[in-house]
Chain A
């Protein structure tokens, strides 16, 4: 069978959809040679349309309506700008905290004690080797073996201030007597050392009559001023009395009833040497006079 012209082929498909129509009857009469083709197509399309699925008797619920509606949360555009500004501000604050200038360190010439007052609470004390060693002064009496936080050390041990993890202190303590300072010197007069401590901590030091001066060697790193004074007083026969309002009175006697040191860096202060012995037990090491 030769292929049908396109228009007749299209017409034949249309008539095959309804082969009983009057148009189909007329086509059969006009083109009897296409009757077989028309019947074939009509049968095929009849089966095709009959194969259409039966629509469901029950229509299910749309799933989209069964879902719980989630409200759309749209952040306003300005909130993005605020968040960016906060981020930049926090970054700048962090940068400033890292790179801010440290408190001034008073570096001294050779022969002058080095004193500095810092906000850094990391205390690193090392014994200062002076003219006399604590162990040679018999300072181990009454002290436990090993390091005595307020006095000397046992023979053969290194005299060091504890360097373990220390609690952070505020950068500017409210009490100026607790301002950690660093001082290092050898063979300087005790009065000069006390004055320099007071100067570094911003204290007004007054010496009571009868104060006995003498050469000492000290090295304290980031130790509160009052602690240094008390430690020096224990070993050099004076007592620092905090008068308040930044005033400290140096009394030339050791108060046996003085309160126990409460500095968390210092331990309990138990085992302090007897000041009457003239021994120079101190936090940071031997004091020689």
Chain B
């Protein structure tokens, strides 16, 4: 079973507004550069992925989290430890699929979008799309290939943020003994 909520390690804190405003200006700049919202969504996800690939080490080093035995446990750790540590919000893990390869992370608060009102012409923008990228990148580094995307967004009128997480492949056994053939 997943571990109970462990104490979240204290990191150096920064002003949340600096963070939120910086993220906002990145999104604006991407929209200005690409002029295509699908492309912006893609870029945000990619940036998140690159962050996740690096950030996972910090999480592992500072939370002293050992190897997770299952995808279920990993999802709990992301929701109860990683998100609180870096974003100061926690998520609920719900809606498990019968085979245990899909679940939802439900957030009621999202500091990325604190001051955001999404105008109608930007309906197809997934404003916080950095976040699923970070989760995908981080889990990939611990041998879990996942798909992660927003299915509900409070900016679009839903009453929570819901991230759908789907395990594509768990490469636990092969790694790090990949045969290069």
- Co-complex (A, B): no
